[in-house]
Amino acid sequence: MATPSHTAGADATTAPEAGNGRVLLITGASSGIGAATARAAVAAGWRVALAARRRDKLDALVAELGADRALAVAVDVTDLDDQTRMVETVVAHFGAIDAVFANAGTGGGPGGFAAAPVDGWRRMVDVNILGCAYTLRACLPAIKERRGHVLITGSVAGRRTIAGSFYAATKWAVSAIGYGLREEVRGTGVRVTLIEPGVVDTAFFDEPKPDGLRPEDVARSVLYALSQPATVDVHEVMVLPTPPRDA
């Protein structure tokens, strides 16, 4: 039985159920959703480029996944030049980028608009909004060449009103980036998917979230979108934890 080839313009009716050696670049890959997605992608046959600030964590993940399947690239997502170098490094190593998962993000302190630290707001703008936009700017030429796939970590917070949440405001902006990019690349063969999780039990939060999603739950959503045939464009995947049972 024939399998999809690692070439642009593969049979549009064939679902790429396995990565078949295609290349997925993940930002924010050192932990949480990014690391879980890397593990799931490699298990599905993808090669992965892992990008984040913490080179030590990336190197440990490469050792786990295998140097033949994974590449570590230290990057500051708030620096467009650094992201451009990231893409150049990945293309030089793997030869192409078939999909990118713009996943890097950060939160801020409590206090709402009345009292939250303003430097936290600036950091969220730099990482959540500009970092995402810079990833797209750096990757789009390579993605267009492959008629590839852009996935972006949004949030249910970017679809609802949350009192006093500047983080939610940045995720509304990320949703708008995804919608705008989808229209920009319409007709090019590039697909754009917003992954919009609810609360996820990761180090993102100071306190454990036992009733939240696991990073692996979100990773399965990413792989679901990636596994669709070229004729299917998954616009958004909103994934929420099942409410706990009443006592």
Structure confidence by residue, pLDDT tens digits, 208-241? 556 779 999 999 999 999 999 999 999 999 999 9
103: closest CA among 28, 14, 194, 43? 28
Confidence of residue 203 (pLDDT cuts 50, 70, 90): low
- Asked if 181 contacts 191 with a C-beta cutoff of 8 angstroms, the reply is no
Alpha-carbon distances, residue 112 vs 28, 169, 203 (angstroms) = 25, 12, 21
What is the predicted pLDDT for the residue at 237? Answer: 97
pLDDT attached to residue 177: 98
167 as an active site residue: the answer is yes
Tell whether the torsion through CA atoms of 40, 44, 84 and 187 is positive or negative.
negative
pTM of the model: 0.89
Contact 147, 9 (CB under 8 A): yes
State the pLDDT confidence band at 202, using cuts at 50, 70 and 90: low
Token output for 238: 């909103």
- Average of pLDDT values for 1-26? 56
211 contacts 40 by C-beta, under 8 angstroms: no
pLDDT of residue 14: 39
In degrees, to the nearest 5, what angle opens at C-alpha 152 toward C-alphas 193 and 184? 65
pLDDT band at 207 (very low <50, low <70, confident <90, very high): low
Q: How far apart are CA 130 and CA 198, in angstroms?
A: 22
Q: Are 154 and 168 in contact (CB under 8 A)?
A: no
Which of 36-40, 108-112, 178-182 has the weakest average pLDDT?
108-112
Whether pLDDT at 17 is above 70: no
The upper half-sphere exposure of residue 173, i.e. CA atoms within 13 Å in the direction of its Cβ, equals 17
CA 167 to mean position of chain CA atoms = 17
Least confident of 54-63, 114-123, 154-163: 154-163
User: What's the pLDDT at 245?
Assistant: 74
Task: Please state, in angstroms and rounded to a whole number, the distance separating the CA atoms of residues 184 and 140.
Answer: 11
Q: What is the DSSP letter of 123?
A: H
Band of residue 11 on the pLDDT scale cut at 50, 70, 90 = very low
Q: What is the pLDDT of residues 61-109, one digit of tens each?
A: 999 999 999 999 999 999 999 999 999 999 999 999 999 999 999 998 8
Report whether pLDDT(16) > 80: no
pLDDT above 80 for 8 = no
pLDDT greater than 80 at residue 7: no
The predicted pLDDT at position 163 comes to 87
Decide if pLDDT at 12 tops 50.
no
Region 23-239: CATH code: 3.40.50.720
Give the integer Cα–Cα distance in Å for 185 and 143: 10
User: For residue 204, which amino acid is it?
Assistant: F
